[in-house]
Amino acid sequence: MAISREGCIRRAGGVLVAALALALAIAAAPARAAQDGPGLFQARCIACHGPEPACAKLGRLDRGGWDWTVNEMHRGGARLDVDEKRALVDWLAALAPGSPPVCPQPEAAPPVQARDGQTLVMTRCTGCHDTVRICRGLRARGKDAWDTTVTRMMLRGAQVDPQDKALIVDYLFTLPAGAKPVCP
């Protein structure tokens, strides 16, 4: 079956359009990463552990190191889709040491002033984890286990002071299984 000249031109035109679209998407990726990086960092990184851990790594990690770091955060509960992970990694890898907004500035936002366990759990814990993950531990963990878990989160950068830690641990330990608002 012979293909007409018109059919060849039409196919070539379609291939050319597809190639052009792909080239534009590839060229736009760094711009998207630069645009999305700061917002993702604010919403997904600082919400869980503050900027200090990332600031310490600027200039020390290449793209592969940031990719590994962001994937570890994702495995630990950070909510990022594939495109968001890529954008965040590209943006972090392009920053110089000490770059804002990654590195803390003197006018850092004040911490949440909540002084009750429920508010602390729903603001501090759910910044990194969904409530289903927390709910699974209700009544399955003793007070010491909750203390260990919250301490581990603090070591990973959770913005919780010692007084708030005690309130969080007591609140989670005393909640019955399936309790709202922790359990959906």
pLDDT tens column, 12-36 = 555 555 544 544 444 444 444 445 8
- In this predicted structure, what is the pLDDT of residue 172? 92
Count other C-beta atoms under 10 Å from residue 117's C-beta.
Answer: 19
pLDDT tens column, 91-130 = 999 988 888 888 876 554 455 565 788 998 888 888 777 8
* Buried/exposed code over 52-64 (b: 16+ C-beta within 10 A; e: otherwise): eebbebbeebeee
Q: Which CATH architecture has domain 117-174?
A: Orthogonal Bundle (1.10)
What is the residue type of 56?
A: A
CA distance 119 to 112: 9
Q: Calculate the average pLDDT of the chain.
A: 78
Residues 68, 60 contacting (CB under 8 angstroms): no
Least confident of 49-53, 59-63, 69-73, 113-117: 113-117
Q: Average pLDDT for residues 162-179, to the nearest whole number?
A: 91
What is the residue type of 8?
A: C
Q: Is the pTM of the predicted complex or chain greater than 0.75?
A: no
Structural domain spans, the chain: 10-94, 117-174
- In this predicted structure, what is the pLDDT of residue 28? 44
Residues 96, 58 contacting (CB under 8 angstroms): yes
Higher pLDDT, 184 or 4: 184
- In this predicted structure, what is the pLDDT of residue 60? 81
Higher pLDDT, 168 or 154: 168
